[in-house]
A and B are shown apart, each in its own frame.
Chain A
Amino acid sequence: MFLKVKNLTKRFGGLVAVDNFSMEVTRRQITGLIGPNGAGKTTVLNMLSGLYRPDGGSIVFEDREISGKRPFEIARMGVGRTFQNIRLFNELNVLENVKIAHGWRSRDNLLLTMIGGTRVSRAEKEITRKAEECLERLDLLRLKNEYPGNLPYGTQRRVEIARALGSDPKLLLLDEPAAGLNPNEVHELMATLRKLVEDLDISIVLIEHRMEIVLNLCEWIFVLDFGKKIAEGTPKQIRENPAVIAAYLGEESRDA
């Protein structure tokens, strides 16, 4: 199994944010994680990428237990991610942002770097080449010298995906990649994600609010409400599941 999450639990004080959540993800699959606000979706993602330490349960990625490992270790094992509130490095340009994710692969060290020389500059060239490759995939190469803060919101989201690809991940975690995008951009995004899975042989787990995107894009969907899994299945099954409809309609009637 590619990714197997079992009985994952996270508590914040008295609140159980994620309660005994289990999920499985196979290779070359786009998986959706949906649910109303505060359902615990981002908490799950943060545990998968190591930003939160789970209070219980296990996460096995490619036959290795990763829960409790530090974020950079998990990133190096092949898990890349983006953030719900875009977290690009605003004082680094687009190319440098992507290069950050490549850095750990190069075989150099600080002392060698201080002295300089061809080995270091060769490593740097290799980092640049790979970073430009990632930018090319998301059609961002012409913006490589721009600073993220000067780019439109949708483009910043793409830069974040390019940066997440930087470390050659096998699993890509996207936290609301379509938030704030216009319908046109959403279409482009969906096409891009499908192409990434196709070209790079990766799996994607994404969080999304809007049902139509998830139903359209994902092959398998998990539905969370108040930290608990209330359903999983194909888009068709999810669309017809009474519990899911109740969770979503329930939220609307709560709002009213």
Chain B
Amino acid sequence: MEYYTSVLMFGAISTIGTLGTFVLTGLTGLFSLGQAAFMAIGAYSAAMGVVRYNLPFAPAVILSVGIAVGLAYIIGYATLNLRQDYFALSTFGFGEAVRAVLTTSVQLTGGALGMTGIPKLTTGPLVVISLVVVVWLIRNVRVSRFGRECVALRLDETAAQAMGVDVFWRKMQVFMLGAALSAYAGALLAFYTSYAEPNMFGWMRSVEWIIMVFLGGRDSLTGALLGSFVLNTAPEVLRFASQMRTAIYCILILVTLNLRPRGLLGAWELSFSGIFGQRRSAVTRGGGSQHVS
């Protein structure tokens, strides 16, 4: 029982981190290969705040999110004007740099051996409430003009600019929002496992997040949640097939993306429109028949 609870907890925490990738890569089309670094920053700075500087839990977490957002501003300022491929490369560099710094600052972080002795302060209810609140916040962004503008600038940056969208600032906001989400997930993770090591936050994790978002459907929040939850728990569920685990995981992804290029759900969203009796075009529009352009 405890085992399943912990699988679910990991799934939920990772999902919060993945949602950062949903807004950044899914909606806005920015491929960041350093997204997991923000998770590392959240994990380490919150943990260090509590362990080394005796901060209470909540302020430490808030501070860690703040640090991630501040750092995202600086990194974003330097990279968001770059073309797609260069942006991916430079965020990759940033992510690996963060990991290298965490590995070498042995006195501060414990180095490659990891940081131990973090109190176990993340509880089940906290994770559940966090996930619900985060999903609600993102859903509000998704259906607003902000979400629409993110999609527009992904589809045609030049046209979006000419329509009065401040493309650079919009990207910056999304980058900071993504960093905040990933950092928050990192903080929750550190206080759940009472342990953090640099290799938990490598570029592979950033890539996995992107895969999860695309598997579920890049335009669909519901899809991102589904993709994230399925893929975060799949390796555990497939444990019975131990050696074949990774292979099965890969085949699952290949098959899905070949059969449904726009992801499992396309742009479909689970919506409450039936309950509240109002239709919102950005949520309810059926994307199933749309093809990739």
Partner of A103, one of B140, B148, B285, B290: B148
A91 interface hit (Cβ, 8 Å) = yes
Task: Tell me, rounded to whole Å, the shortest Cβ–Cβ distance linking A88 to chain B.
Answer: 7
Q: How large is the interface on B (under 10, 10 to 19, 20 to 34, 35 or more residues)?
A: 20 to 34
Check if B158 sits within 8 Å of A113, measured CB to CB.
no
Check if A114 sits within 8 Å of B161, measured CB to CB.
no
Task: Tell me, rounded to whole Å, the shortest Cβ–Cβ distance linking B123 to chain A.
Answer: 24
CA distance A167 to B165 in the complex (A): 10
Q: Contacts of A167 on B, CB cut-off 8 Å?
A: 163-164
Q: Contacts of B161 on A, CB cut-off 8 Å?
A: 50-51, 70-72, 75
CA distance A122 to B37 in the complex (A): 38
A89 interface hit (Cβ, 8 Å) = yes
A166 interface hit (Cβ, 8 Å) = yes
Check if B282 sits within 8 Å of A96, measured CB to CB.
yes
Q: Within residues 61 to 101 of chain B, which ones have a CB less than 8 A from any CB in chain A? A: none
Q: Contacts of A115 on B, CB cut-off 8 Å?
A: 137, 140
Check if B164 sits within 8 Å of A76, measured CB to CB.
yes
Instruction: State the majority secondary structure of interface residues on B.
Output: helix
Stretch at the interface among B49-57, B149-157, B182-190, B200-208: B149-157
Q: Contacts of A88 on B, CB cut-off 8 Å?
A: 159
Check if A96 sits within 8 Å of B148, measured CB to CB.
yes
Check if A92 sits within 8 Å of B151, measured CB to CB.
yes
Q: Contacts of B239 on A, CB cut-off 8 Å?
A: none
Check if A75 sits within 8 Å of B141, measured CB to CB.
no
Residue of A nearest to B168 (CB): A70
Task: Tell me, rounded to whole Å, the shortest Cβ–Cβ distance linking B8 to chain A.
Answer: 26
Q: Could you list which residues of chain B lie within 8 angstroms of chain A, going by C-beta atoms?
A: 137-138, 140-141, 144-146, 148-149, 151-152, 155-156, 158-167, 173, 177, 219, 267, 281-282, 285, 287, 290, 293
Taking A91-B219, A147-B290 as given, write out 15 further A-B residue pairs in contact, using a Cβ cutoff of 8 Å, ordered by the A residue number.
A70-B161, A72-B166, A75-B162, A76-B164, A83-B162, A89-B151, A91-B151, A92-B151, A99-B148, A100-B149, A100-B152, A114-B138, A114-B141, A166-B163, A167-B164
